[in-house]
Structure 1
């Protein structure tokens, strides 16, 4: 099987890249060991996060660091035995989270974030899956008055970004969400983002569009990638596939390729879990909620209410656990009357993160025809279509809609 381009990874990043390359006349083979959307893209909170103009940074206040160090927070958990292994990366992340460097990261990410909703809208229309999208934003909730007042006072810092939002006092919050308990004192309703009721189904719809337009999806093992003369080759269930160009969009598994080829890119993993819940009779949740103080998300999904946890630093290959989920659930039940758990066990996802809070998108510095598109951290679903467009523009020689320099792998000395 001979193609112009092979894309390794059929999550939201890989599928979006495939669609954009296909639209530019490339023959594309999309390769994954599982069905599209079955990896990290499967289990996120379903937010197309247009309002996340400031990246998730490492806490700089000593009081916050001390709180997380106790390892009892529902927002962040670490495995003490894993901490020495991740400590150098965490230090680098802390350093990149200084006010000056965080401002650089925010400026670098802004064009992709600004394009997130419109790029999704285009693909949603083409794929005919508008039934998966809700267009009434999400609510950032607060439990204590000091935290709420602090969040409101900081809104002036994002005025230059032109985001639409409404500050909800207690009465207005409960008017918008009348079925919720009294633990929430107020919130901020972010109006620009959209939400997805089944992220895996969205990726599958995009992949279906790719195949309907003549694209090839085959199951295969990215670890078999090899290079001979001017061709890249990978073994698939339908035989070897070859192309002059290959794009690595494997999310947390991308290191399987770039490390073997000698690239020292500091990719780390933030684990996250989710669980679906039934709702007791009469209970209702109209918006996705982000509990700003407890660090989890409640999202209305097709399957039920999805509770998505915050960050866990633990060995990526370690089994899923309920430690952080149980902590978050106790807080969630103070807000919403959750019924029984609908999943046999928690789903575990691996968020691919880089310490400077921006992905790698672009050409591999030392290998002709090798391209990268990974490291989107918490915002893979948000940034997938925009990142796919950027990489496809770079691969086809089109003028990129965003300056690609901040995303180059060369920034790590690779």
Structure 2
């Protein structure tokens, strides 16, 4: 944290986003340092230089907030970091020490980061006051196709609580409260009394030396080195995008400011388009969606019923033939080569291959287990995948692990299991599987 840094002078825009600065120090990265930089940040560079400028113009990475985006004399700014109270700017361009260079930061990106960081403080402050949960992680990505910020907490929330917190943040935004900076220099200032009470603030880790606090009256006080707005009303809008359990707490994905407005606008257009295709108002989308789900479930149940009936008939046919040939069935041949249909089967000798296009792995396992116990055959059940097939093979007598090795050699099968049943997948097609049945079995 650099108290007098230019990047803390909020409202930087227009002419203030550009400034001519002096290069005080220059260093070219060694090959090893360059490799480490590429490993961490990606990209490909013929050479890399870092510079110390005459003023703290660009915001460095820190506290979950990425560094500024911008340029130095037209060259792309790759990274900014603070080391021992000094800022170092990285770029591919080679400039001499003592040169004056025009520096420029991306005003939109700086504002997006400030909008989101300020909103995160409001949200975390409300959480701290109501639930006493600690913010255990924070990260922002205010660029690309999916801008967002994630915040981790050591506790969980209900859907109703999240809705109330979202409404609470937007209420604070509408109040247009000031967002203040307070600097505590050294240890003595931390015990000072202020007119509105003693100094207290949230912090994620133990801090030493000078401390910068971002305070929003009656909402939050938190140690922070990030960039912020001057008033909560400048944020505009806040929304929670998603919620998931994470470690012993939860992870929230959220967005604020202009980026949130654009995301909500996009979502509303999608919902309106969906509602129009259903010939229903968008307020009735949940009801329409439930109706569609029920119809899909009914169709799936109907398909399952047809498959079950087909399997029963096949089972009865095989059992009847076995009854007629009590002496054994060494040359049993059923069906025709497998084809891409809802249900097809192909048998030879003591093996029966079933193709059940609509079933996933768990259903295939249930079918295979049922038939292997009722039939004196080795069952190979196949289900459709994007590439190849899901495979479940079972038998009462044969060691299917040995059969799995044969499948691996001839059909690129990959999987595992027990003696009675194996499961996995193959990238083979129908032609290869049918040829395997004809030639190997």
If the length of structure 1 is used for normalisation, what is the TM-score? Answer: 0.20
If the length of structure 2 is used for normalisation, what is the TM-score? Answer: 0.20
The one of the two structures with greater contact order (alpha-carbon pairs below 8 A, sep at least 6) is: 1
